[in-house]
Amino acid sequence: MGKLLIYLRHYKKETVLAPLFKMLEACFELFVPLVMAEIIDRGIGGKDIGFSLGMGGLLVALGVIGLVCSITAQYFAAKAAVGFSTEMKHALFDHLQSLSYTEIDTLGTSTMITRMTSDANQVQNGVNMVLRLFLRSPFIVFGAMVMAFTIDVKAAMIFVVAIPLLSVVVFGIMMLTMPLYRKVQNGLDSVLQSTRENLTGARVIRAFNKEQEEIADFEEKNAALAHMQLFVGKLSALTNPVTYIIVNVATMALLYTGAVRVDEGSITQGQVVALVNYMSQILIELVKLANLIITITKALACAKRIQGVFDISSSMTWAEETAQRAQTTGRKEESAAQCAGVGDGMERSEQRAVQAGDEEPQPYAVAFEHVCLTYAGAGAEALTDIDFRIRRGETVGIIGGTGSGKTSLVNLIPRFYDATSGCVRIDGRDVREYAKAELREKVRVVPQKAVLFQGTIRENLLWGKGDATDAEMWRALTAAQAKDFVEQKPGKLDFAVTQAGQNLSGGQRQRLTIARALVGEPEILILDDSASALDYATDAALRQAIHAMSGDMTVFIVSQRAASIRYADRIVVLDDGEAADIGTHEELLARCGIYQEIYYSQYPRTEGGGAG
């Protein structure tokens, strides 16, 4: 929690004024029993109506002033707590955005959502309650004891015994419940994850008639959460009855001692009433303090979970990060050492090109140099010794069976993941040497799942290029084979797209995501099985339009369809994370058994052995 308090730095005034006004309210409240004692002893006992009315007016004044102080404290506390929560959420969101795919995969979506919502709100409530009550309640408890000593030392000794007993109960229960509340929040994560999975995969669940199994699984997790909440709730609920027992016993002892002291003439009846009022104040404040402790316990548990996310640092460092500039040289040397052998091979290749008559060797648009990739926590490599080079303007097909590593391969180009060994180069530079913005401008990715955001078609396309004109958008839509259906939509470019594009068909969503990538006219375009919902004719027209847009654009097409990559300049065939073969369609059909198996599973053989 201490590290998160940095987000209160812009609310120093509020964090001081809120408890200060609460302390003022507490001071006025401590004077009330003394005024009551004077009214009883002098006003009622002496039958002095004027004095009683004057003291009554003083009570009203104390109440009004206390109310103003309380409202003022509430205002400052709420302002500080809400501001703190706002800054913390902004910082948490920015931090999550800075993490690489590796850390995001490890954390999980449900965990991140819980940290941003439920946990953040608990911490906000904790800050609010601390500013309002954390100083006020202990101040009144000990202030009431001190005021009791000013009335009668012997009677005040009851406070000396009662307050430590109450403190043991309150803080003992706090120590027991704190770890339990942490488990409750973890259980909430599990329920949230189950709910999210069911909502996201509702159609799949219904298609396979698994509703009852999912309901049973949810009920099991929900029952476990409810059991934990009931247990910790029962434990926390012990605070109030135990506190009341101690205070009521103390009040009985106080009344007995007060009666004896009045009979002896040591104190007055009004002072006994004042002592009882102070004991009542202690009871009320300790009940508040007990509830405050519960809230703080929850807040501390949630704060620790949020801080745990902040403590996770990205496994990637970018060239523009100031903190890493001093290490850039070392990283380049390490990268050069990893790729030394391959680099020599590239130089020899370029030398041969010069000897053959080329004026000047050009760097490869994309080069994979003995690349291996192992995901965090995985037991085996996802990619093993991938080594090939692609020249600018070439179209490359990536094909292979399910789980062969196609998406893993293309994710290394925009540096969604870092290679475990080897390196990926773009225009002769290691991708780890690029600034993030520079690399993202060069490479545009259309992922497997078409993701659109709530807004208009125009707003979605502007993600590809922030200052794109209408002409550029229509050109991209035309190339993506989306122009026809967009023109038919009311408002055309201003047609409202719902969240995740649910008011569009699967094919329409895919074509819009392709258009979004094409708006920026990237140097490298990656289509990661992004035309799976398109028919063969539309898919073919899309590939022809992309090829016609720019002869310099290097295109990677990941597909399960042999037709989609058949006319690529080169095809990379993956098998269990390894490049089984690389070549043209004709070359692979002649020599690569894996490619033959994929191709002939989609096209029938002719009598002569070819495809019909």
pLDDT digits (tens, 9 = 90+) for 223-232: 988 998 899 8
Among residues 310, 340, 356, which one ends one of the domains?
310
pLDDT at residue 529 is higher than 60: yes
> If you average pLDDT over residues 138-163, what whole number do you get?
84
User: Who has greater pLDDT, 105 or 585?
Assistant: 585
433 has a pLDDT exceeding 60 = yes
pLDDT at residue 336 greater than cutoff 70: no
CB atoms within 10 A of CB 200: 12
Quick one: 305 and 408 in the same domain? no
403 and 492, same structural domain?
yes
Q: How would residue 410 be classed by pLDDT, with cut points 50, 70 and 90? A: very high
Q: Are 398 and 297 in the same domain?
A: no
pLDDT for 354 equals 40
What's residue 351's pLDDT?
44
In the chain the first and final C-alpha atoms are separated, in Å, by 69
Who's near 174: CB < 8 A, 6+ residues apart?
293, 294, 296, 297
Residue 413 main-chain phi, psi, to 5 deg: -70, -50
Least Cα distance to 481 among 523, 531, 432 occurs for 531
Are residues 288 and 395 both part of a single domain? no
Query: What is the average per-residue pLDDT within 159-185?
Result: 80
What pLDDT is attached to residue 609? 42
Helices 239-264, 211-237: crossing angle, 10 deg rounding = 10
Return the closest-CA partner of residue 592 out of 606, 571, 609, 568: 571
Q: Is the pLDDT of residue 352 over 70?
A: no
Which pLDDT score, from 0 to 100, does residue 312 have? 86
Using 50, 70 and 90 to split pLDDT, how confident is the model at 331? low
**Would you state the pLDDT for residue 200?**
79
pLDDT reported for residue 77: 92
Is residue 347 over pLDDT 60? Answer: no
Q: Which of 310, 339, 370 is the last residue of a domain?
A: 310
Tens of pLDDT, residue by residue over 557-569, are 998 888 888 888 9
Element (H, E) at 430: strand 429-430
Neighbours of 193 (CB within 10 A): 17
- Do 511 and 480 contact (CB within 8 A), yes or no? yes
In a domain, 354, yes or no: no
Using alpha carbons, select from 92, 93, 96, 117 the residue that is nearest to residue 105: 96
* 550 phi/psi in degrees, rounded to 5: -155, 130
pLDDT of residue 259: 86
Domain interval for residue 452? 391-420+429-600
pLDDT at position 339 over 60? no
pLDDT tens digit sequence for 2-28? 688 888 888 889 999 999 999 898 888
- pTM score over 0.85: no
- Assign residue 192 the CATH number of its domain: 1.20.1560.10
H-run or E-run covering 558 = strand 554-558
Q: Are residues 556 and 446 in the same domain?
A: yes
Distance between CA atoms of 224 and 230, rounded to whole angstroms?
Answer: 10
- Note whether residue 133 is domain-resident: yes
Please give the residue that has the higher pLDDT: either 446 or 185: 446
Among 262, 279, 310, give the residue marking a domain's end: 310
Percent of the chain scoring above 90 in pLDDT: 21
* DSSP H stretches of helix in 265-367: 269-310, 325-338, 340-355
More confident: 83 or 137:
83
Verify that 79 and 178 share a domain, yes or no. yes
Tell me how far apart the alpha carbons of residues 449 and 218 are, in angstroms, rounded to a whole number.
26
Residues 405 and 549 in one domain: yes
Helix (H, G, I), strand (E, B) or coil at 505: coil
Q: Is the pLDDT of residue 138 over 90?
A: no
Residue 380 lies in a domain: no
Lowest pLDDT segment from 342-356, 396-410, 468-482: 342-356
Mean pLDDT of 503-510: 87
Based on the fold, state whether residues 286 and 396 are members of the same structural domain: no
Cα separations in angstroms, 501 against 204, 423, 465, 506, 542: 19, 36, 20, 9, 21
Answer whether 398's CB lies under 8 Å from 448's CB: no
Q: Which residues pair with 527 in a beta bridge?
A: 446, 557
Does 280 share its domain with 395? no
Q: What is the CATH number of the domain that holds 410?
A: 3.40.50.300
Q: Is residue 331 part of a domain?
A: no
Q: Which residue has the higher pLDDT, 263 or 362?
A: 263
Same domain, 284 and 400: no
Please report the sign of the dihedral spanned by the C-alpha atoms of residue 603, residue 605, residue 611, residue 612. negative
Mean pLDDT of 68-75: 92
The residue type found at 289 is L
**HEC readout, 288-303:** HHHHHHHHHHHHHHHH
**What does residue 446 show for φ and ψ, rounded to 5 degrees?**
-110, 105
What span, in angstroms and rounded, lies between the C-alpha atoms of 55 and 386? 90
Record the tokens describing residue 489, joined without a space. 């939509």
Mean pLDDT, range 227-252, rounded to an integer: 84
Is 368 part of any domain?
no
Is residue 578 a contact partner of residue 563, using CB atoms and an 8 Å limit? Answer: no
Structural domain contains residue 9: yes
User: What is the arithmetic mean of pLDDT over 39-62?
Assistant: 85
Q: Is the pLDDT of residue 341 over 50?
A: no
434 in the same domain as 292: no
Residue 332 covered by a domain? no
390 vs 243 pLDDT, higher one: 390
Q: How confident is the model at residue 38 (pLDDT cuts 50, 70, 90)?
A: confident
Query: What does the pLDDT read at residue 566?
Result: 87
| Same-domain check for residues 103 and 238 | yes
> Per-residue confidence at 412, pLDDT binned at 50, 70, 90?
very high
Residue position matching structure tokens 């201003």: 494
Residue 606 lies in a domain: no
Dihedral sign from CA coordinates of 538, 450, 552, 598: negative
Number of domains within the chain:
2
Residue with tokens 């089984």: 580
Quote the radius of gyration of the chain (alpha carbons, Å): 36
4 with 306: CB under 8 angstroms? Answer: yes
Interval 289-322: pLDDT, tens: 777 877 887 888 888 889 888 888 887 877 766 4
